[in-house]
Chains A and B, each alone.
Chain A
Amino acid sequence: MADTITLQVARYRPGQEPEPVFQSYDVPLRKEWAVLDGLNHVKDHVDGTLSYRWSCRMGICGSCGMTVNGSPVLSCATFLTDYAPGPVRVEPLRNFPVVRDLVVDITDFMAKLPSVKPWLIRDDEPEPEGEYLQTPGELDDYKKFSMCINCMLCYSACPVYALDPAFLGPAAIALAQRYNLDSRDEGAEDRRDVLSSAEGVWACTFVGECSTACPKGVDPAGAIQRYKLTAATHAVKDFLLPRGAR
């Protein structure tokens, strides 16, 4: 195994520089090193101006999503040796405006989050003294959709979001479903308009790239398909049944 590997890193400051350029850095190639370790080596010892986000370096905080050799990945959970002999091309996540270098602007997602009301909705007042009972089987119904770390890899992979930034998107819909399918929740009706709108589940053409990209096995594509069925059933009921019987 060679001692080093070349990172080709996209550098860009929109508004101040005309276009992204790739800068090459040779970094040590070690078995344990993630792509993030390579970037940290550059930042610490070679070029302090390189900008990127990272924090937990254990694949759970969702900060360090990047495009590596064309695929959206967590740079802390993707290893240099997998790309040997290189070069390794590191770019910001796609489908987002670039703030600088590898840092993208996710305010669009953060603004969409509250619209799906991702919190437990109950009618009962006051809160009961004990817990809401929930069997392990009921927990399993939504557990998968509760594992999203908001890393944005699914938005980066989504061809629909690329063309239509108004699309609610995979993670936000999966999160809505996480609550809709929770046996303790009574808010499905409150989330229905947003999910059933033109920018909701119906915008999805079921390419499935989101579920492929997801590092946590959330399967947003499955969440979306499942809601389409729910929404379609509702639509048919709305059409056929008198209001009181829906």
Chain B
Amino acid sequence: MSVFHNVVVVGGGGAGLRAAIAIAEANPRLTVAIVSKVYPMRSHTVSAEGGAAGVAGADDSLEEHLYDTISGGDWLVDQDAAEAFVREAPSELLRLEHWGCPWSRQPDGRIAVRAFGGMKKKRTWFAADKTGFHMLHTLFQTTLSHPDVVRYDEWFVTSLLVDDGQVYGVVAIELATGRVETIIANAVIVCTGGCGRVFPFTTNANIKTGDGMALAYRAGAPLKDMEFVQYHPTGLPFTGILITEAARAEGGWLLNKDGYRYLQDYDLGTPTPHPAMRSMELGPRDRLSQAFVHEHDKGRTIDTPYGPIVHLDLRHLGAEVIDAKLPFVRELCSKYEHIDPVKELIPVRPVVHYMMGGIHTDIHGATPLTGLYAAGEVACVSINGANRLGSNSLPECLVFGARAGQAAAEFVGSTRSAPGAAVYAQARDAQRLLEREFTRHTEGHERIADIRTEMQTVMENGAGIYRDGESLATAADRLRELRERFDHATVDDRSRTFNTEVIALLELSFMLDVAQSIVACALHRGESRGAHQRTDFPARDDLRFLEHSLVHRTPDGGGRVGYLPVKITQWPPGERVYGR
């Protein structure tokens, strides 16, 4: 049995919803389905706090946003993509305003913008410190005004259907019933977000298991720049809950155990009482997280049961500013740390936050597979290069979600090819394999959670903020072992009804693929650039590595790594300068 839609969008977060609206607007006769393992308003876009960058002020220019993005990404950014991005970000943010997003305002009623890390000008639009939440709900509610956009809420996509390099749909499980369905489509847009859960300590929600990356990877599409994993410098210990960069943009300080603003020791500028752009606490995330490791090595962090920490000091901002600009920070600190940032220091440590890499796409969101598109964190266009700047990811979801939607709509309007017998045979095979997972019986008794926890430890130890050839080779070996152990993982739950254990099993298998691709890319890149720091190759090497990593999956789950030149249009590689 199968159903048909012109376009299937996998994932209902910022990028997926934006893509669906773009298709509905481009061609109202097309049927669009959003297939997501959670209700759209549960998507992880909801957790984004600080804001969304788009040039807004008279003192700012697209050129400056472009330069900040390229230098922030340590010149691994495709400059044509970044040009399109900075050009279209303001109009996308404005469209969201027209759809009702409650952006914070200036006294005269115009949009307000705030400072952000690595940005030379104030250009970050914000809705207090719940920007992602408001953007997501605005987009979701706007899709409700398009009755032609249908949803498969709580459906988990398990594979893409591919024949001769073209994608024809997906196979998915309905969680509530365990029913497996084939959804045929002329085009598929993958918008499933990141994969932070392959690491033990992450800001990412439980659902961020790299599903879309693995789906595309298994279907034959290459992943790009997977070695670039962003650690955000300020996560709460134990939970990993994000304390937004906006806290520093509003004037917060990072202090070591001696109460010293240690960033001044790491070529990030000199302390000033008020925040200075592209300086100190407003430096880029990769550099700030690396500085933390050095402080730890010098014995200047504070040990806690949940790892070493430093302090984020907001006390000098006062209750009024904190309540107006950072209310969620105060709420989260109170709830999860039992402290009040108006009077107390916030304990923080670096935490895995964002994946610069992802499914290789062009600037229209198209992957090398015909009919397959990707947008948002799951994709790598690349506008983020080796390190994403804070507040560039939300507008990326909008700009490239819209572009992918428009490109898919155009493709669907022009394509005549229909799925052949091979596609239906593939769908039947996929269904049979899935049926087996529900009755999975293994000799061993490996628990899913044990394998998952070990994978996360392997990733942190082998591919953390600093890596080297040895740590990565060890990680690669351990991941291969874990893949063998995965075959012996047991499932307690034999029910078809809302079986979250089978879903966890499938997610773990996706995560193992993603983890292996990260390690493979990191092993091959013998240089240090942005978020990829190799202690055995401490310098950037533009002669050898001004290139994107491109990894194809091999049948054993490993990756074959190749390279693709970075597109440089106007800014040749230069030094990254912050604070001077």
Q: Chain A interface (Cβ within 8 Å of chain B)?
A: 13, 16, 32, 43-45, 47-49, 51-63, 77, 99-101, 103, 105-106, 110, 113-114, 117-120, 122, 127-128, 130-136, 138-139, 142-143, 146-150, 175, 179, 182, 184-185
**Residue in B closest to A117 when the chains form the complex, CB atoms:** B145
Find residues 63-105 in chain B having any chain A CB closer than 8 Å to their own CB: 94-95, 97-100, 102-105
A60–B46 touching, CB < 8 Å: yes
Selected from B206, B336, B449, the residue in CB contact (under 8 A) with A45 is B449
CA of A190 to CA of B439, assembled, Å: 51
Find residues 26-57 in chain B having any chain A CB closer than 8 Å to their own CB: 38-39, 41-44, 46-47
B47–A100 touching, CB < 8 Å: no
Inside 8 A of A57's CB, which chain B residues have their CB? 205-206, 239, 241
A58–B41 touching, CB < 8 Å: no
B111–A131 touching, CB < 8 Å: yes
CA of A114 to CA of B148, assembled, Å: 13
Inside 8 A of B106's CB, which chain A residues have their CB? 136
**Residue in A closest to B495 when the chains form the complex, CB atoms:** A13
B38–A45 touching, CB < 8 Å: no
Q: Chain B interface (Cβ within 8 Å of chain A)?
A: 38-39, 41-44, 46-47, 94-95, 97-100, 102-111, 130, 133-134, 137, 141-142, 144-145, 147, 153, 176, 205-207, 238-239, 241-242, 306, 328, 331-332, 335-336, 447-449, 491-493, 495, 497-501
B105–A139 touching, CB < 8 Å: yes
CA of A110 to CA of B40, assembled, Å: 11
Supplied contacts A55-B38, A62-B41, 4 more A-B pairs, CB within 8 Å? A44-B449, A52-B500, A61-B46, A132-B97
Selected from B42, B94, B207, the residue in CB contact (under 8 A) with A62 is B42
Inside 8 A of B94's CB, which chain A residues have their CB? 130-131
Shortest Cβ distance from B439 into chain A, in angstroms?
14
Q: A49-B493, A118-B141, A133-B108 are in contact. Are A103 and B498 (CB under 8 A)?
A: yes
Inside 8 A of B492's CB, which chain A residues have their CB? 47-49
**Residue in A closest to B337 when the chains form the complex, CB atoms:** A32
Name B's interface SS: loop
B205–A55 touching, CB < 8 Å: yes
A-B CB proximity, top 6 nearest: A133-B109, A44-B449, A48-B492, A120-B100, A49-B493, A55-B205
CA of A62 to CA of B207, assembled, Å: 13
Shortest Cβ distance from A19 into chain B, in angstroms?
16
Q: A60-B46, A62-B42, A135-B105 are in contact. Are A44 and B447 (CB under 8 A)?
A: yes
CA of A23 to CA of B279, assembled, Å: 55
B102–A139 touching, CB < 8 Å: yes
B498–A51 touching, CB < 8 Å: yes
CA of A136 to CA of B128, assembled, Å: 11
Q: A55-B44, A100-B497, A149-B41 are in contact. Are A135 and B239 (CB under 8 A)?
A: no
Most buried by B among A56, A130, A150: A56
Inside 8 A of A52's CB, which chain B residues have their CB? 500
Q: A48-B501, A49-B495 are in contact. Are A63 and B42 (CB under 8 A)?
A: yes
CA of A148 to CA of B109, assembled, Å: 24
Number of CB contacts from chain A to chain B under 8 A? 156
CA of A150 to CA of B44, assembled, Å: 15
B95–A127 touching, CB < 8 Å: yes
CA of A49 to CA of B238, assembled, Å: 26
CA of A62 to CA of B499, assembled, Å: 20
CA of A110 to CA of B41, assembled, Å: 11
CA of A54 to CA of B205, assembled, Å: 9
B109–A135 touching, CB < 8 Å: yes
CA of A99 to CA of B277, assembled, Å: 52
Selected from B109, B137, B239, the residue in CB contact (under 8 A) with A134 is B109
Shortest Cβ distance from A80 into chain B, in angstroms?
13
B493–A61 touching, CB < 8 Å: no
A45–B447 touching, CB < 8 Å: yes
Q: A56-B47, A63-B38, A136-B107 are in contact. Are A179 and B501 (CB under 8 A)?
A: no
Inside 8 A of B137's CB, which chain A residues have their CB? 146, 148
CA of A197 to CA of B98, assembled, Å: 29
Question: Could you list 25 A-B pairs, sorted by A, with CB under 8 Å?
Answer: A32-B336, A45-B447, A47-B492, A51-B500, A54-B206, A56-B205, A57-B205, A59-B331, A59-B332, A60-B47, A99-B498, A114-B144, A114-B147, A118-B141, A122-B98, A131-B110, A131-B111, A132-B97, A133-B109, A135-B107, A136-B105, A136-B107, A149-B41, A150-B41, A182-B100
**Residue in A closest to B112 when the chains form the complex, CB atoms:** A136
Selected from A61, A134, A185, the residue in CB contact (under 8 A) with B42 is A61
A118–B497 touching, CB < 8 Å: no
Inside 8 A of B108's CB, which chain A residues have their CB? 133, 135
A134–B105 touching, CB < 8 Å: yes
CA of A230 to CA of B310, assembled, Å: 52
Inside 8 A of B332's CB, which chain A residues have their CB? 58-59
Selected from B102, B104, B110, B336, the residue in CB contact (under 8 A) with A146 is B102
Inside 8 A of B97's CB, which chain A residues have their CB? 131-132
A16–B497 touching, CB < 8 Å: yes
Most buried by B among A62, A99, A131: A131
A55–B495 touching, CB < 8 Å: no
**Residue in B closest to A74 when the chains form the complex, CB atoms:** B335
Inside 8 A of A49's CB, which chain B residues have their CB? 492-493, 495, 501
B42–A133 touching, CB < 8 Å: no
Q: A44-B449, A45-B449, A60-B133 are in contact. Are A119 and B491 (CB under 8 A)?
A: no
CA of A57 to CA of B106, assembled, Å: 32
**Residue in B closest to A45 when the chains form the complex, CB atoms:** B449
Inside 8 A of A134's CB, which chain B residues have their CB? 105, 109
Most buried by A among B41, B142, B145: B41
Q: A60-B130, A118-B141, A130-B94 are in contact. Are A99 and B102 (CB under 8 A)?
A: no
Q: A58-B47, A182-B100 are in contact. Are A119 and B205 (CB under 8 A)?
A: no
Inside 8 A of B206's CB, which chain A residues have their CB? 54-57
